[in-house]
Structures are given as structure tokens and as C-alpha cells.
Structure 1
């Protein structure tokens, strides 16, 4: 069996620690007379999560907190507390996160989420674009947040693009989308795979 050089082992361990410093975020949503706590997982991998809430001026279930499975790229409801009328709740919570998944973990409905990509994704759709659906549809189904604009409906944006491209392209004649990745414009990205490849490049 081949052994990795010592510095690569250290780098791998450091990367794992850094990547999992905050693997789960707790989001609190207000509903009438209640606060709902959700675990948000912006990682590809699943985690088992246990949330324990303590404090005053609210009521909660007396059941012992249990680990709950939070799949990758998802949001899962963990707990709801009932507020006492006329009193401001004071609470703290303790969060335990395991990447060693247990068969005993609770399974709850998980809502798929989208995350911010390394670079902002903006897709501009020209009037004559015939390949835009092959990019927009996978983006809608994929994990990344993005925005898109139909240039036919937004002449101001079209004018800005013309200036950015040095008026070297006739936008109405383009049959491919214009993609902005982190401020850089691409006119030859037609598929989702091509976009992801460009997104991953430094």
C-alpha cells in the first residue's frame, strides 16, 4: 500500500477540519406564538444533528433530543418552541453534529436548498437563443443559486452588455446565452457541464 507524503496527510486533515468548522447552520423562523428551528446543510454530504434548547419564557417538548438526519443541500425542521404570552423568550442552544451516520437517527422531511456558488452566476438570454433551455433547465434543478435576464425584455441590460463586449457582438443574432461568472463574460457556454467546468476554474 502506498503512503501519502507527510505534508499531504497534514494538508488533507487541515482541509477536513476547515471544511467542517461550520457544517450545519441553525436558522430560526418566527411563526405566530412560536419559534421554529431548522438545520441547514450547505454541504454535499449528510450529517446527523442533535439540537438541545435551554432558556426561559417558552415551552417545549419534554422528549429527550435525538439525532436527526440532515441530508446534503437540505433544510430540516428540528424543533419548535411555544412562546409565553407577553414575555420575551431567552434561549441558548447546543448543537451536536456527526458525520458518522447512525441507523437510529430520526428521518424527517427535508427541503432541498440552493447554495451560493464560488462565483456569482448570471445568465443573459438573447432573443434568438435556441440553446438556453439546455442551460437554464439544469440550473433550475441544480444546487446553485443563479439569476437570469431576458434581454428582449430588458434593453438597459442589453445596452450595458453591448458596451462590455465592445459592440463586437450583435445580441439579437446570438443563439447561445451570455454567462457572467464572477464578473467575467462567456459567450460560448451552452450546456450545464460547460458552465460547471468554467465555474471550477480559478
Structure 2
């Protein structure tokens, strides 16, 4: 059952979950080179076109190519050769396209953790019978999440107990984790699939 209660304490552990840009460019220094990666922090696959300009480096000649960057992944797009005794200073233009093309280059993609559309906070209850399974699946998933063991956090436990006091599932009768999705409390989510369904559901 969904508990439609805004849990004020969540402000303390909350984060802003609006995504500004679904794909960003990050660089990593390697000997005499600068590797440029596209990091897709969304749940949508994209083709991207990266155009780099600047000083202190050389790059592969030719027309820039489109690259396929899957959801929740990091892909090496370009390697700049740093000129001896200089520092690479660059700017870039990035184009995104979610209408994927078979012509886009496909390179190995490294999975990354991303923020879900709704912030996930797991409150582990003392009599929980499904916590281990849900926590294991979440840890292996692409999502960033927070978790708290209620027996170790008496103040949080008290807040949740008050939030659930006048519902059909008071805290001492809950056998699942109490799950907050952007402040909305759920007490009957028993597995990861049900959690995903709640994440997808429009409020």
C-alpha cells in the first residue's frame, strides 16, 4: 500500500534529482594523452557527435563520427595527443540524437550508476524478510540509492513510525523495507521488480 505522506525528514538525506544534461563529457589523463569519455546519465540510449577544438594537443584528422552511447554507460569517444611541454586546453560541441542509427560507431561501454527519476531511500526494518533480496538487486542495478538500518537510527525510526501510525501497516507490522520514492512511502514492495514498477509509475 502506498502511504501518501510527505516524510519531512527526507529533506535531510534528499538530493536534487533533476538531470540537467543526459550526456556529459569527462576527461582522464593518461601518459601524453587525454582521453575523452561520454557518460550517459539517463535511461535513454543516444547517438552523440563530439567536436573538439583547442590548443596544446593533436587529434585524429577527419570528419567527426557519431558514436552510440547506451543508457547508464561510459564510452571512450576520443583521445587527444598532448604536445610535449604543453597542457591540453579544449572546448567541445556535443550533439545528441535519440533516433539511433546503425551507422553510428559502437565501442565497448562501461556501466555507470545513475540517479533514478525518483530518489530511492531504503529503510531496513527489524523484522524484514525481503530486505536482503531487494538490497542485493539494487546494489547490482544501475541506480544510485540511499539506505538506513532503522535499529541504528532511532530518530529516523521514530519519524517513520509516526508517519505510518494511522495506516493499515504500522511500522511494527511491516515485514518489508519501508521504501521512499521521492518522499512517498511504500511498505508492501516485496521484490526488485515491484520496485521498478513503482519507479516507472507516474504520480
TM-score > 0.5 by shorter chain: yes
> What residue in structure 2 maps to residue 49 of structure 1?
48
Partner Cα distance (1:170, 1:106) in 2: 52
Partner Cα distance (1:67, 1:124) in 2: 43
Count of residue pairs brought into register by the alignment: 181
The 3-state SS of whatever aligns with 1:162 is helix
Alpha carbon RMSD of aligned pairs, Å? Answer: 3.1
Q: Residue 195 in 1 paired to residue 195 in 2? A: yes
Q: What is the TM-score with the length of structure 2 in the denominator?
A: 0.70
1:164 to 1:32, Cα distance in 2 relative to 1, 3 A: farther
Residue 85 of structure 1 deviates from its aligned partner by 5.9
1:201 to 1:94, Cα distance in 2 relative to 1, 3 A: closer
Stretches of structure 2 that go unaligned for 5 or more consecutive residues are 1-19
The 3-state SS of whatever aligns with 1:75 is strand
Partner Cα distance (1:147, 1:57) in 2: 42
Residue 73 of structure 1 deviates from its aligned partner by 2.5
1:101 to 1:181, Cα distance in 2 relative to 1, 3 A: closer
1:189 to 1:34, Cα distance in 2 relative to 1, 3 A: same
Partner Cα distance (2:184, 2:99) in 1: 40
Partner Cα distance (1:160, 1:31) in 2: 49
The 10-residue stretch of structure 1 (147-156 or 117-126) with the greater mean CA deviation from structure 2: 147-156
Partner Cα distance (2:162, 2:28) in 1: 43
Residue 34 of structure 1 deviates from its aligned partner by 4.4
Q: What is the TM-score with the length of structure 1 in the denominator?
A: 0.70
> What residue in structure 1 maps to residue 14 of structure 2?
none
Higher relative contact order (CA 8 A, sep 6+): 2
> What residue in structure 1 maps to residue 38 of structure 2?
39
